[in-house]
Every structure is written in structure tokens, then in C-alpha cells.
Chains A and B, each alone.
Chain A
Amino acid sequence: MDLTYTEEEEDFRARLREWLSGTLPALPPKPAATDWPGRRVYDTGWQRRLHDAGYGDVHWGASPTTRLIFLEETEKAGAPYVGANFVGLLHAGPTIAAEGTDAQKERWLQPVLRGDEVWCQGFSEPDAGSDLAALRTRARREGDHYVVSGSKIWTSHAEVADWCELLVRTDPDAPKHRGITWLAMPMDAPGITVRPLRTLAGSTEFAEMFLDDVRIPVGNRVGEENDGWRVTMVTLSFERGTAFVGEVVACRRVLGELAAHARKSGRWDDAVLRRELALLNAEFSALWRLTQWNVSEAQATGGVPGVGGSVFKLRYSHARQKLFDTAADVLGPAALDAGQEWTFDRLSSLSYTIAAGTSQIQRNIVAERILGLPKGGR
């Protein structure tokens, strides 16, 4: 058990810190959290800077420890997070890197890393959310194209995306986990209608998407036809395994800000509140150590994070909600001001126990795949 970093890793940290301190003051002001067109420009601009400085591929090209250091330092410095590049950098990119052909890697990876192209996720459907394998969007083969019809929902960043990682049913007669195919769909193809959905936080970060005979070249298929479920599991293991890691550092920062605010306002004298903050400190301190534990394990086993990500996600998503509920307690009546940053975070945090698989689904995964309890009996 060793919590010290190698000399090489500490060099990386020092160089990154120096670069961040020179780069961050020159960034343009952040757009409003709900302004997705503005955030696309801002987030891709940040990605371009990372790329030009040699950090573009840190999310999937670097070792897990290097990535951990990157996330820790960028968050501590208050740098932007992946934002609108989330799907491209953390889902589609790693999936194509793991499962794509050389030509596909050539075509799609660089534009993501340079911040030239933004991806969205077309997995869920109105009748296939947590039960993702129940998806019905059809793709029939016509020569060297798939012709796709159906609808998708909860499509993050659809409004501002260039590409969509799309799951379609290519064999309706096969058992539901078979017969699914993973396609890269250009968002400017004829037949796509995007209708933004407004979240309870007031933001339009996801959308409904209607697909009416959309033609997608067969060359855009990642993995084999009808093998999309396996490819998807690769994507989801990235999503559940590492996608939330950087946020733990952010939560620890918020906790420090909350304590400072409470000390200033006099709320600190409330022993009940102080206890809540203390327990959150224990929680996020442990979640950070669990992150390091999981990263060390991934580093040792070399690669794709395992189902252990579900353990992390379960605890983290609830802890985050608790953090911003406590923020409301610290703020008092000001917490009801929708313009308050922590109020927006409080509202946004409600998605964490739902997105990327609800807590209930995560518990099933943990129980069945880690603990070996029998399937079924919902």
C-alpha cells in the first residue's frame, strides 16, 4: 500500500500545474450553465488548448494514474471540465479506440481530441431506459447503408453535437441482447429531428431525437453487426468506471467553501450542521481514497475498468446530493434563489442517481455480477 507517486508522475504534475497557471487566466469568461451553444464553443476551445499543449488524449491515452493526476490538478486549479465533450472523450472515443478499425480511429479520434467535433449519446429510448436492451429503433440494410427509423431520448448534448453514438436493432428476431448494432451517426444527416428537453434545473442538456429513414454508411458501424451489446458494455464500463472521478476533487473543494461560508455567516456554531459537514468530509476523503484504490487496481490489471465502478457510482451519486442539500442548509433562504451556483448544482445533482443507470440498477449489477446473487425476481 503506497500513496506516493513516482518521480515521473510528480514531474507530470509539476509541468501540468505550471501550464495551468499560465493558461487559465487567459481563458474567456464561462458561459451560463444552461447555454449549451455557448458551452460548446467554450468547452471545445478548452479541449483545443489541452490538445495543443499535449494533454488532449489524457482521458484515454494516458495511464490511469496520469489521468488521476490530470483530473486532480485541473480541478484544483479551477479549470473547465469536459463539458460538451463528455460523450466524445469519455464514451465514444474510448469505445472507438478499443473496438474501432484503424480507419475509424483515424477518422474520429483526432477531431474529438482537437475539440473539432462533439458527440452525443443515442442509447436510451422512451421504452428502453434502464432496460436498454429493449430498444426498438430499427436499422435495415440497403446496400452499403443502414436505414434507421425510431426515436431516442435523454440524448445528451444532441443540440450541439456533430456525431451520435447510436444503438439500433439490426435483427428484430434475435434475443433482445443480440441483434443490436453500434453506429456512428452524423447529426447533419437528413431525417433527424432534435427536440431539446428542459431539465428540472432549467437546462436543455439533453433532447428527444426522432429518426426518419436516416441513411448511415455501413462503414460507420463499430464492431460487428448484431454485436453492439458487447461494444456497449465496453462504453458503459468507461462511463461507470471513470467518468465521475474528477468530480470528487470538485466536491472536496465545495465542502471547503461551504465551511468557509458557514464560519463567516455564524452557521458554524450549529453543532448539527457542523456534524453534517464533518461526515461529508469523511465521505469525500474516503471516496478520494477509493478512487486511488480503483485506479491502482486498473493500472495493475491494465485497462478497462471493471464493475467496481458501480460501487463507486452508487456511493458518490448519493454523497453528491447530500453535499448540495447541506449547501442549502448553510445558505439558508438564499438557497431558494435559482441563480445561486450551489442551487443549480443541487438541482443538477438530482440526475446523478438516475443517469448512467439508476442506483437501483447499479445495486442489481453489484449484487449479481460482484456478489453472485441470482438474476431475476425483480
Chain B
Amino acid sequence: MHFQLTEEQRALRTGIRELLDGRFGRDALRAAVDRPGELDRDLWAELAGAGLFGLCLPEDAGGVGLGLPEAVVVFEELGRALVPGPLVATFLAAGEVPGAVTGETVVTCPYGALLPWADAADVVRGDVAGALATESVDPLTPLHRVPAEAPVPQEATLLYAAEQLGSAGRTLEMAVGHARQREQFGQPIGAFQAVKHLCADLLVRVEVARAAVYAAAVTRDPVEVAAARLLADEAAVRGARDCLQVHGGMGFTWEADVHLHLKRAWVRAGLAGSPRDAEEVLAAAL
């Protein structure tokens, strides 16, 4: 048993993080917020070029031939950077919809009662009859509501959980960075125990969620996927809330990035299938 990232998985993580740092840093994120509903096709093509959508496809199908654990490592980074777009749907369509692997075709489909990015996508799969546009709480995820509840594949649930994990890790970094630098009463606020404890709890939630998400990627066990999903949602949503709290008044402004993490975390939780269903899976397994 060696339940740690392999050399190759570390290299993969570093590679995608560097790509995203350079290509979708803070300025690009804020620019995207100012153009809601508009998908950055150049970024999409670069992600495809880096092998994102074909990561789990066999090499003779134009893919990279890696497994779900590697996909989880990559989606954690996508979540950390808050990359917008129907990433999960396109990733899962890569073997079936021509052009998805190369990034030429953007694919979306409904999960549960929600359909993300319907207007920007080239292909919309699934039963979307009667879909109605809503004003999405997340400026970076346009949503439609569909009357017919769509199934959520286990892989989709897990990839959203991986994104939640990445987002939780990022809000931890943001909270700790702010707590170190912001001074009040003559010292950094991170010296105050109340702030320290918020940050420590952020870390604990990230570490627990990471163990659950990685393990579920390895075992593909439905019970572990359900656990991973609930713990990753908790880590992302509460992580963003606590990060907002550490930022004080600044955290409540549009200018701070933390609300983008919180809103996306809510949306991902809504796209990953019903939490009640996940709970019933976990209960039934006892």
C-alpha cells in the first residue's frame, strides 16, 4: 500500500497548475467574471492540447491512457483555479462525441435538475425538453433548469468532488495568506486564536476530504464516492464561508474572489446529484 501521489501524478499536478497559473490567473478570472456566459475557447483549446479531455481515453483513441485517480488530480487543479465551462460533461463525452477530445466541440448535459452552459456549448446531450434559463448565482456558470431529472454518473459526482477539493484548498490558502498579512490591534490577525482556529478547521476539512476523494478515485466504490462527495462539498462550502469570515468586510465585496469560490461550490454541489441520495447510499451500506 502506497496511498500517496506517485511521481507521475505529482508531475501531472505541477504541469496543470503551471499551465493554469500562466493562462488563467487572477486577472483572467476577473476578466471572465466581467463577461458572464462567454466561454474562453482559446483556453478550452489549450486545456485540450494539454490532454485534459482525453486523459482517460486509450492512446489509440487519441487519449493519454491514464486513469480516474489522474483525472481527479487534474480536476482538483481546475477547481482550485475556478476554471469555468462544462468541463465534467465534455470530459465524460470525450470518447463519444467527435471533436470533444481536441477541444473543438464543447459538450454539456443536464445533471439532476440543472443544465450548465447550454448556450455556449456546441452539443447538448440528454433530455433537455422544456429547459428554462435561470439567473445563476455563480457568474461563471450559466444555468438552465430542466423539468426531467437527469441521472448523474458516478464519475461526474467524483470529478465535481475533486473540483470542490481544489476550491477548498484554495480558500484555505487565501484565508491563511490574508491572516498573515492583515494587521489589526498592532499584529497580524493570524496571531489571534479565534482566527487561527478558523484556519486550522479549514485545513482539517481539506485533509479529510482529500483522503476520501483520492480513495474513491482508486476504489470507484459507490459508498466511497458518496462519502467523498459529501465531505468535499462540506470542505468547499464551509471553506469559502470561513475564508470570507477571515477576510472581514473585504470578504463581503464583489472585488474579493472568495464569493466566486462559495457560489461555484454551491453550484457544483447542485450538479453532483442529490445529497439525500448520497446519504441513502451511505446509510444502506451500514
Chain A residues packing against B (C-beta within 8 Å): 1-6, 9, 65, 255-256, 258-259, 274-275, 277-279, 281-283, 285-287, 289-290, 292-293, 295-297, 299-300, 308, 311, 314-315, 360, 362-364, 366-368, 370-378
Contact = CB atoms under 8 A, between A and B. Distances in A.
Contact of A300 (B4, B69, B179, B223): B4
Contacts of A377: 187, 191-193
B26 interface: no
> When A and B form their complex, which 3 residue pairs have the shortest distance between CB atoms, in order from nearest?
A377-B191, A259-B286, A367-B196
A290 B191 contact: no
A65 B180 contact: no
B37 to A, nearest CB: 35
A296 B208 contact: no
Main SS at interface, chain B: helix
Given A1-B3, A372-B180, A377-B193, 19 more contacts: A2-B1, A2-B218, A256-B286, A274-B280, A274-B283, A278-B280, A281-B285, A286-B227, A289-B3, A289-B211, A290-B212, A292-B211, A297-B4, A299-B2, A311-B207, A364-B193, A373-B191, A373-B199, A377-B192
B218 A373 contact: no
B215 A363 contact: no
Chain B: number of interface residues, binned into ranges = 35 or more
B230 to A, nearest CB: 5
Interface in B161-202: 176, 179-180, 187-188, 190-193, 195-197, 199-201
B3 A296 contact: yes
Contacts of A279: 230, 279, 282
Interface of B: 1-6, 9, 69, 176, 179-180, 187-188, 190-193, 195-197, 199-201, 203-204, 207-212, 214-215, 217-219, 223-224, 226-228, 230-231, 278-283, 285-286
A71 B203 CA distance: 27
Contacts of B211: 286-287, 289-290, 292-293
Given A278-B283, A281-B285, A1 B176 contact: no
A297 B279 CA distance: 30
Contacts of B215: 3, 286, 289, 292
Nearest to A296: B3
